[in-house]
């Protein structure tokens, strides 16, 4: 779960550095999407058992 969130934040940070803007929008999007993905995968695994 932590690895997914770290990957999303690092990917967003990379995109923010590549496409410079005033607000770190790609980092925010990366973190939010990765948190939702981690929660989805965790709940899917938990409910399966």
Structural domain boundaries of the chain?
2-48
pLDDT recorded at residue 38? 96
- Residue 15 neighbours by CB under 8 Å, 6+ apart: 26, 27, 30
pLDDT recorded at residue 49? 67
Per-residue confidence of the chain (49 residues) as pLDDT tens digits? 899 999 999 999 999 999 988 899 999 999 999 999 999 999 999 998 6
pLDDT recorded at residue 39? 97
Give 24-33 contacts, CB < 8 A, sequence gap 24+.
31/5, 33/8
What is the reported pTM? 0.83
């Amino acid at each position: 779960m932590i690895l997914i969130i770290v990957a999303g934040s690092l990917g967003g940070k990379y995109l923010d550095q590549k496409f410079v803007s005033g607000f770190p929008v790609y980092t925010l999007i990366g973190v939010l999407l990765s948190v939702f993905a981690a929660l989805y995968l965790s709940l899917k695994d938990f409910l399966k058992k």
